[in-house]
Amino acid sequence: MKAFALAVCAAALAAATGAQAQDWRAAAGQDLAKMRELLKADHPAAYVDKDGGTFRSWVDTGYEQVSASLDKVADTSGYYYALNGYAGGFRDGNIRVVRTLPALDPSFAGAWPGFSTAWRDGAYTVAWSEGGSKTPPVGAKLISCDKKPAEAIARERLDRWEGDLELQADRARTAPYLLWDRGNPFAGAKPTKCDFDVAGRKKSFTLTYGFTAEAQRKAAFQAATPLPERALSVEQWNDGYWIHLPSFADDMPWEAFLGQLEAQRAAIQNSKVVVIDMRGAGDGPGRHGYRVANWLWDPDFVLAHTPQFGDVAYRVSVDNRAFYAGVLANLKTDGKYYKEWARWEALLAEFDQALASGQPLLKRNEARAAVAETPANPMKAKVVVLTDAACARACLNMMDLFTRLPGVVHAGSVTSADSIFVGEAVSPLPSGFANLSIGDRAWLDRPRATHTPYTPSLAYSGDPADETAVRSWLAGAL
C-alpha cells in the first residue's frame, strides 16, 4: 500500500512537472510569435535599407530556427533563453527582451565548476578559483573542452543567448558564464574535460559541477567582470573630483545628486582633473546624462557640441504612435520639460498624417539651427571619461556627446555598441513574463556607425576588479 501511495505521488509530481513544462513552452511560443509580429510592424529596419539587412534576413529565419527547438523549454530559464536567442540574432543591442519577473543576480548559476573566466588578451582566462588540484589556477587560459576549441564553446554557450560575441565588450561581459550552468537548454551539454594553458604548459582538468554559497559565486563573478556599486556620488580625488555615474535609470536619486554637483560646480570646473566614471552604466534614458553635462559645463555650451540628428526615419505604426503619445503625456507632468512639448506635438501631428496615408516611414530632418556663437568653455579641468564593457544605450549616447567636448579624454575599456535604429519603444508580450524593447526610428545621419564601439585612447589592461590599481594607473597616465 505504501509503495502504491509513493508511486501515485511520483506520478502526480511527474504530471505537474510536465504540465509546467508545457506552460513555459506555450508561453515561449506565443511570445516569440508576438515578438516577430511587433518587429515586423514597428521596427524601422523592415523598410530602411541602410544597415537593415541583418534584421530582414533574421526576422523570419531566426523565428523559425528558435521555434523549431521549443521542445527544449521546460522552465523559466528555458523560456527566457528562447526569447533571448531570437532577439540576440539581430545583432542589435537596441532589440532586447526585458524580463518582468524579479531579476536574477548577474552572478546567478544553477551549478558551476568552482571557478570563473574572464576575457583578457584575447583568451578566456581563469579570474577566480576555489584552488586545489581539481580546478585550474588563476591566470590559466582555456584551450579546449571535450576536443572543442574555446571559441567554439563560447559560440555554442554564449553567443546570442548571453550577448553578442561580435563585440569585444560583450565577450568581456559574458565571459564568467562560459563554463557555468545557468539553465540554458539550448547551450548543449556542460563541458567536462578541459585543457588549459597553465604557465605555458597544457594541463587537463575534469570539471565537477556543484552548488556553492552565493557570496563565493559573487566573488568569482566580480573577479571576472566587476560591477560598481550602484550609487551616484561625487568625491575629491587627486586635486580634482571623481564623479560616479554607474546608471542612468529613472529610479536613481537624480535631484539630490544634481544638488551635490551644483554645490561644488565652481570647484569642479576649476580643479585639476575631473573623472566621469560611467563603468556599469548600461541602463536608463540619456536625458539624465545630459542633465549632468549641463550642470558640469553649461546648457548652451553642451547644446553647441551635441551631435546633430539630421535625417531620421520613424517607423509608422499604431504601437509607435501610442508610445510617442505616452512620452508627451509624461513630459507634460513636469514643467521643466515645457520646451519639448511643441516638438512632440508636431511629431504626433505628422505621425497621424502618415498613418492616415499608409506610409511605412516618416522621414524628418531634425537638424537644429546652428549655434550663432559657441560660448566659452567653463570647464578648466582636464576631463576623463572612464568606461567598461557595460557601457551601452544611454552610456553610448553620452559618449556621443563627451567625445565632442574639447579636452575630454576617454579611458578604461572598449564600450559596447548598437545600431542606428535607436529609441526604446517597449511593448508587453502576451504571457506577461517579458516585454520587448526595440528601436523605433533610424538615425540615418548618425556620426557613429552601426556596431562601432568607442575605444579608449588610454586603455586599461590590468585587473578591472582591483579599484586601487585602476586609480593608480589612471593617476599615472594623466
> Residue 210 sits in a domain of what CATH number?
2.30.42
Query: How many angstroms separate the CA atoms of 389 and 414, rounded?
Result: 6
Question: Taking the CB of residue 416, how many other CB atoms lie within 10 A of it?
Answer: 26
For residue 8, being part of any structural domain is answered with no
Give bridge partners of residue 117 from the DSSP assignment.
126
What band does 309 get if pLDDT is binned at 50, 70 and 90?
Answer: confident
146 and 68 within one domain: no
CB 404 within 8 A of CB 427: no
Q: Please choose, from the candidates 183, 180, 192, 191, the residue with its C-alpha nearest in 3D space to the C-alpha of residue 107.
A: 180
246 and 205 within one domain: no
Percent of the chain whose pLDDT exceeds 70: 95
345 and 453 within one domain: yes
Residue in this structure with the C-alpha cell 541602463, named with its chain if needed: 283
Strands 408-412 and 458-459: parallel
Residue in this structure with the C-alpha cell 550577448, named with its chain if needed: 163
395 and 431 within one domain: yes
256 and 188 within one domain: no
For residue 1, being part of any structural domain is answered with no
Mean pLDDT, rounded, for 196-201: 98
458 and 339 within one domain: yes
What's the CATH code of the domain at 270? 3.90.226.10
Q: What is the pTM of this model?
A: 0.88
CB 453 within 8 A of CB 415: yes
Query: How many angstroms separate the CA atoms of 175 and 163, rounded?
Result: 10
Q: What per-residue confidence (pLDDT) applies to 286? A: 79
SS3 readout for the chain: CHHHHHHHHHHHHHHHHHHHHHHHHHHHHHHHHHHHHHHHHHCHHHCCCCCCHHHHHHHHHHHHHHHCCHHHCCCHHHHHHHHHHHHHCCCCCCCEEEECCCCCCCCCCCEECCEEEEEECCEEEEEEECCCCCCCCCCCEEEEECCEEHHHHHHHHCECCCECCCCHHHHHHHHHHCCCECCCCCCCCCCCEEEEEECCEEEEEECCCECCCHHHHHHHHHHHCCCCCCCCEEEEECCEEEEECCCCCCCCCHHHHHHHHHHCHHHHHCCCEEEEECCCCCCCCCHHHHHHHHHHCCHHHHHHHCCCCCEEEEECCHHHHHHHHHHHHHHCCCHHHHHHHHHHHHHHHHHHHHHHHCCCEEEEECCCCCCCCCCCCCCCCEEEEEECCCCCCHHHHHHHHHCCCCCEEEEECCCCCCCCEECCEEEECCCCCEEEEECCEEECCCCCCCCCCCCCCEECCCCCCCHHHHHHHHHHHC
216 and 92 within one domain: no
Residue type present at position 154 = A
For residue 215, being part of any structural domain is answered with yes
40 and 147 within one domain: no
Q: Mean pLDDT over all residues of the chain?
A: 92
* Boundary residue ending a domain (167, 189, 224): 224
Residue in this structure with the C-alpha cell 594541463, named with its chain if needed: 203
All three cell numbers of 280: 556599469
pLDDT > 80? residue 369: no
For residue 367, being part of any structural domain is answered with yes
What band does 373 get if pLDDT is binned at 50, 70 and 90?
Answer: confident
Mean pLDDT, rounded, for 395-411: 96
What band does 116 get if pLDDT is binned at 50, 70 and 90?
Answer: very high
284 and 172 within one domain: no
pLDDT > 60? residue 18: no
Residue in this structure with the C-alpha cell 544553477, named with its chain if needed: 110
For residue 459, being part of any structural domain is answered with yes
What band does 337 get if pLDDT is binned at 50, 70 and 90?
Answer: confident
- The predicted-structure confidence for 254-296, as pLDDT tens digits, reads as follows 999 999 999 999 999 999 999 999 999 988 777 899 999 999 9
- The predicted-structure confidence for 122-149, as pLDDT tens digits, reads as follows 999 999 999 888 999 999 999 999 999 9
What band does 371 get if pLDDT is binned at 50, 70 and 90?
Answer: confident
Query: How many angstroms separate the CA atoms of 388 and 175, rounded?
Result: 14
* Boundary residue ending a domain (99, 133, 148): 99
What total number of domains does the chain contain? 3
Domain region containing 55: 21-99
For residue 11, being part of any structural domain is answered with no
For residue 190, being part of any structural domain is answered with yes
- The predicted-structure confidence for 20-56, as pLDDT tens digits, reads as follows 766 999 999 999 999 999 999 999 999 999 999 999 9
- The predicted-structure confidence for 234-259, as pLDDT tens digits, reads as follows 999 999 999 999 999 989 999 999 99
For residue 108, being part of any structural domain is answered with no
451 and 379 within one domain: yes
414 and 270 within one domain: yes
Q: Is 280 exposed, middle or buried (0-12, 13-18, 19+ CB in 10 A)?
A: buried
173 and 210 within one domain: yes
* Boundary residue ending a domain (189, 224, 259): 224
All three cell numbers of 160: 546570442
All three cell numbers of 271: 580643479
